[in-house]
Amino acid sequence: MVFVYVIRSQKDERFYVGMTKDLENRLNEHNSGKTKSTKGYMPWILFFTESFPSWEEARKREKYLKSGFGKTWIREKWSRSSAG
């Protein structure tokens, strides 16, 4: 199983989209400063995840979520969530 995930910075509410097979470990890496692109915006919380049976399918979804349309979809989901 491969996970596509979106995390949100508690520092400035920005989002980050990624994919992994080990979600718990990956979130720990983001929050320990091991990921260059996210270390300046810690701490991160998990916003949502989706699971896929293959890397190929997960990569397609990740690419979509990183696109302009995907970012809009995430912002809309954020505005409807109880966390927002």
> Over its length of 84 residues, how does the chain's per-residue pLDDT go in tens digits?
999 999 999 999 899 999 999 999 999 999 999 999 999 999 999 999 999 999 999 999 999 999 999 999 999 988 876 554
Please identify which residue in the block is written with the tokens 């949502």.
Answer: 48
What is the C-alpha to C-alpha distance for residues 7 and 47, in angstroms, rounded to an integer?
Answer: 5
**Residues 42-64 pLDDT 10s:** 999 999 999 999 999 999 999 99
Sketch the domain layout of the chain as residue ranges: 2-80
Architecture category of domain 2-80 in CATH: 3-Layer(aba) Sandwich (3.40)
